[in-house]
Amino acid sequence: MEIVGFEPRRTDLARGILIARSTRPQNAAEQKALWDALAAAGITEPADEDAPDEAEPDRQWHAAPWLPPAPEQIDAHRRALEETGAKFGLDGVWFVKVETGIDGVAWLEIAASEPQEEEPEEATVSELPPEVVDGIFDEGAREILYAAPDAPAVEDAAEDDVDEAEESEEEEVYLEEVPVESHWRNGVPPFEHSVAFPIEEYPEIIDDYDWESFGVALKMSGDSLPGEESIVNAFFALWLSVYQDERAEEFEPFQRADVIHDRRHRSALMWVERLAVPASASDQVHFLLWLLARLHEIIPIAWARFTSVDEAVKGQATGEPPFVLAGNPFEDRFRRQGEEPALAWAVGQTSWSRRELAGMLVEVALEHDPDDPKTAAVAERLLRRAMSFEPSSDAAGYLAIVLIRQHRLVESVALAEAAHSRDVRLLVVGETAEHAPDALAPALALLDSETLSETPPEEVADLVATVARHAPKHLATLLAQLPDEVTLVPHLYNASFSVERPQGLAILRRVLSLPVPAKDTGEARTAMVMAWNNACIHAHALGDYRLAVELADGGQRYAAENPYIFHSAACAYAAVGQIDRALEQVSRAIEHEYEHTEKMETDVDLSPLHSDPRFPALFNEWRTRRADLN
């Protein structure tokens, strides 16, 4: 039996993993017996006392935490290891350890010495009280409507973009001027600066390092034995263990992390989000490179790439089935040799699947500007070849974008109709609305009832907002095509905040036509109630007082749930001279403890009531009751 890397610990910070290979696959009971034997010798941690899980898959590769021995224990551990290996048919055991860890205490001290800025928390409708919906207040100013905190005001969107860009530039300058200093508890971890397999984005990743989302994708080669996923998982755990410090409970080195396996292609994606640790990008990259080099000595790595793991990458990796593209050798050939030789290589090689080849061609195609006729032609050729490799890849969607940007709209619609994924239909409608709004009508025919019913409601709402912003004359047609499903209520409601007022009113009226959510349905019910109020506000602001009155009437059944409706209805009735009804709404708002009662008293939209002595009397009575309570 081959034993690699078995040596004593030098410090109390030593941690490691044990990788074993058996001569045949072992079932769950055999695996538990193996670990029990190694745990009894003190080589690994004791397994759970529970009986082995019969659903546990058979494995030929095995992985577990390793407790590196003290120097005086090394001989006894080796004998136990050899005896266990002979008993359980192990032909190889590998040990990998590190003897340092990040200094979380130092990081907390650094963080405490710097001024902290609170980040706004994202929230959905369901996270906010249902009554928080503003009415009509100041004359001449755009009325404030209730919105989820992450929904920007229409007028401020451009300014926000500029501010965000300026803040981003300032942050980049700051990071360049003040590089992160590394703080390790026992010297730096082991580093590697070169590996025996191709790895993309190195050393570029050091300059492009993104602490918010950092990872590596790898593709394995050699003999495929059951259980190799557990080996990758063990290296993943060892990687992140170095960034934890048991001395500081409040130290949280990262927000989320995961390893995703693409078993079909023997690929894996290891990623971490918001890795906030006192270690330079160079330290982090070269330590991870060292771990990959050790993994390569056990299971050969055919290709790897450092990557920033965005939502698109995660979406593919967590799809069904998962897909991880661990490199792009086609891109290198395309740049060095040209399009035809690179395509000839793709057609003739066998190491990468057709699905992976399609992904490579898509990546290269996306580097070509779809608005430029010359580069768009290259992108089109690559995408069509990608579709021939794998018809169900996302190449069809990107090809549709190219066709639309080149004003080949009829072809884009035909492509969407024939595409394997209905997502292409939504993409064609959205892209056409944005780049060729006058030609949107034929594309809207792609949105048949089956497509819309199979599309998640948030994506439908996003499409509605896109059409409202870029092709508003087609908004009514699209809204009429939407299914009458209650799941659309909160998403369409939120979409109304990202568009101009007339389009926002149209969207809200479609919300009001949907089935009424029950009172116990959370955000859907809250959004429906809010929609009555905001639609009334929009109609009043646009001068459509007849519609405002109609909406005020319809919202009465929900006003007790949201007293803002009383205020908005009072403004609507006052605008058409229905003084008695307007006064009644003010009275009911006060009765329901409306939180902006004082603003109603000075609201210029209620000025037709000011000459009626009943109006100030309502507020005098309200103040008297408050004084009595106090």
Q: 591: which 2 tokens?
A: 């009765």
Please tell me the predicted confidence (pLDDT) of residue 179: 63
- Give residue 297's pLDDT band: very low, low, confident or very high (50, 70, 90): very high
CB atoms within 10 A of CB 611: 8
Whether residue 248 lies inside any domain: the answer is yes
Residue 184 DSSP symbol: B
Cα 447 from Cα 91, distance rounded (Å): 59
For residues 338 and 292, state if they share a domain. Answer: no
Please tell me the predicted confidence (pLDDT) of residue 50: 57
Q: What is the CATH number of the domain that holds 25?
A: 3.30.70
Domain boundary among 49, 75, 98: 98
| pLDDT tens digit sequence for 79-119 | 999 999 999 999 999 999 999 999 999 999 988 887 655 54
Strand partners, 93: 3, 20
CB atoms within 10 A of CB 389: 21
For residues 284 and 334, state if they share a domain. Answer: no
Whether residue 360 lies inside any domain: the answer is yes
Compare 121 and 379 and report the one with higher pLDDT: 379
Query: Hey, what amino acid is at 447?
Result: L
Whether residue 272 lies inside any domain: the answer is yes
Number of domains in the chain: 3
Whether residue 502 lies inside any domain: the answer is no
DSSP H/E element including 26: strand 15-26
Domain boundary among 379, 404, 436: 436
Q: What is the mean pLDDT of residues 277-290?
A: 97
For residues 214 and 302, state if they share a domain. Answer: yes
Please tell me the predicted confidence (pLDDT) of residue 185: 96
pLDDT at 344 over 50: yes
Q: Can you state the angle between helices 373-389 and 339-348, rounded to 10 degrees?
A: 10
Domain boundary among 74, 98, 122: 98
Whether residue 168 lies inside any domain: the answer is no
Cα 508 from Cα 565, distance rounded (Å): 15
Residues in CB range of 388: below 8 A, 6 or more apart = none
For residues 203 and 310, state if they share a domain. Answer: yes
**pTM reported for the whole predicted model:** 0.82
Please tell me the predicted confidence (pLDDT) of residue 630: 61
| pLDDT tens digit sequence for 190-206 | 999 999 999 999 999 99
Q: What is the CATH number of the domain that holds 290?
A: 3.30.70.260
For residues 343 and 309, state if they share a domain. Answer: no
Q: What is the mean pLDDT of residues 132-151?
A: 34
For residues 383 and 288, state if they share a domain. Answer: no
For residues 274 and 367, state if they share a domain. Answer: no
For residues 312 and 351, state if they share a domain. Answer: no
Please tell me the predicted confidence (pLDDT) of residue 112: 85
Average pLDDT, rounded, for the chain = 89
pLDDT at 143 over 80: no
CB atoms within 10 A of CB 423: 17
For residues 267 and 359, state if they share a domain. Answer: no
pLDDT at 153 over 70: no
For residues 310 and 341, state if they share a domain. Answer: no
Please tell me the predicted confidence (pLDDT) of residue 56: 84
For residues 313 and 334, state if they share a domain. Answer: no
What is the Cβ-side half-sphere exposure of residue 113, based on CA atoms within 13 angstroms? 6
Angle formed at CA 252 by CA 250 and CA 257, multiple of 5 degrees: 155
Measured between its terminal Cα atoms, the distance across the chain in Å is 85
Q: What is the mean pLDDT of residues 281-291?
A: 97
Whether residue 302 lies inside any domain: the answer is yes
Q: What is the mean pLDDT of residues 252-256?
A: 95
For residues 349 and 402, state if they share a domain. Answer: yes
Please tell me the predicted confidence (pLDDT) of residue 86: 97
């949201």: which residue's tokens?
A: 562
Lowest-pLDDT range, 50-54, 101-105, 278-282, 452-456?
Answer: 50-54
- H-state helical runs in 41-179: 74-88, 104-113, 157-177
- Report the length, in residues, of the chain: 630
Q: 630: which 2 tokens?
A: 């106090």
């009424």: which residue's tokens?
A: 516
Q: What is the mean pLDDT of residues 555-583?
A: 97
Residues in CB range of 497: below 8 A, 6 or more apart = 145, 147, 148, 151, 153, 154, 504
In this structure, are residues 187 and 100 in contact, taking their beta carbons and an 8 Å threshold? Answer: yes
Range of the domain at 389: 330-436
Please tell me the predicted confidence (pLDDT) of residue 611: 94
